[in-house]
Amino acid sequence: MGFFKRLKNVVDAKANKALDKYENPIEMLELSIVKKENLLQDAKKQCANFIASVDCIRNEKKEIQEKINKYEEATKAAILKEDTEKAQSFVKQKLELEDKLNNTDLRIKEQDEKIQLIKNKIQDLEIEISKMKSKKQELATRIDVADINNEINETLAGLSDDHGINLDELEKKVAQKESYGKALEDLKPKNEDELLDEYIKSSPSADNKVEEELQRIKEEMKK
């Protein structure tokens, strides 16, 4: 692999890593929901247009059927009048209209199938959007909880503060200051009374009971 190819891969990898850091899954999901909602609106408009066009075709079919019925009546009237030419003409027009009626039925069927297909897709899209909105709410709650947990964990680990408090270090510093203060106290010049008191305290003193016991033993030894 060439140098520039490797360099491009490195740059792409770093760029993707940076994007992953700043991507907000909720915003991405919201954008996808908006796109699908726009698609849903377009599908509904398209379906409405198809329904309107089929209604026009159905009106056209109704008019054709009415003409067929009239030609049927006209044919009967011509037969009663023994007007063969007219009867044949009416029948011919009636048959042409019936062919047109059949074609119209086919057009209506095709359009109805398209409408049903669009309605199915609309229903599927509505279900998908509903699921995405539910998932968005779930993820938003999970992210909020995760953010709080991360903040707590970072605080406890000292990751969110470069000058985090270390209790052991504080304990050592306080103890050091206490030792330093005690050393200064010991080095402080003492007055005469303090020196006398210190001397008296450092002098050995026997317990009264011990003295009494020793004296008793000595007295017994003399007997």
Q: Give the whole-angstrom CA distance, residue 77 versus residue 216.
A: 166
What is the model's pLDDT at position 19?
Answer: 47
Q: Is the pLDDT of residue 115 over 60?
A: yes
**Taking residues 176-199, what's their average pLDDT?**
70
Mean pLDDT, the chain, whole residue set? 80
pLDDT attached to residue 127: 94
Q: What is the pLDDT of residues 95-106, one digit of tens each?
A: 999 999 999 999
The 3-class secondary structure across 22-47, one letter per residue, is HCCHHHHHHHHHHHHHHHHHHHHHHH
**Which of 84-88, 113-117, 143-147 shows the lowest per-residue confidence on average (mean pLDDT)?**
143-147
Mean pLDDT of 10-15: 54
C-beta neighbour count of 181 within 10 angstroms: 10
The length of the chain, given as a count of residues = 223
Above 60 in pLDDT, residue 14? no
Looking at the predicted structure, is the pLDDT value of residue 9 above 70? no
**Lowest-confidence region among 3-12, 46-55, 56-65, 146-155:** 3-12
The span from the CA of 147 to the CA of 154, in Å, is 10
With a cut of 80, say whether residue 15 has pLDDT above it. Answer: no
DSSP 8-state symbol, 56: H
User: Taking 70 as the threshold, does the pLDDT of residue 178 lie above it?
Assistant: yes
* Alpha carbons 32 and 39: distance in angstroms, whole number: 11
Q: How confident is the model at residue 37 (pLDDT cuts 50, 70, 90)?
A: very high
Residue 199 reports pLDDT greater than 70? no
Q: Residue 109's pLDDT is what?
A: 93
Query: Contacts from 118-123 at CB under 8 Å and sequence distance 24+?
Result: 118/43, 118/46, 118/47, 118/50, 119/47, 121/43, 122/40, 122/43, 122/44, 122/47
Structure tokens at 18: 């940076």
Least Cα distance to 24 among 155, 147, 153, 151 occurs for 147
In degrees rounded to 5, what are phi and psi of residue 216? -65, -45
Which position has the token pair 């964990």? Answer: 153
Give the Å distances, CA to CA, from 164 to 146, 168, 169, 176.
22, 12, 11, 20
pTM of the model: 0.52
The CATH code that applies to domain 3-157 is: 1.10.287
Return phi, psi of residue 206, to 5°. Answer: -85, 150
Query: Which band of pLDDT confidence, cut at 50, 70 and 90, is reported for residue 204?
Result: low
Under 8 Å CB-to-CB from 71, ≥6 apart: which residues? 90, 91, 93, 94, 97
For the record, the structure tokens of 190 come out as: 């003492």
Q: Which residue has the higher pLDDT, 150 or 48?
A: 48
Helix (H) or strand (E) holding 121: helix 84-157
Separation between Cα atoms, residue 109 and residue 54, nearest integer Å: 9
Domain ranges of the chain: 3-157, 167-222
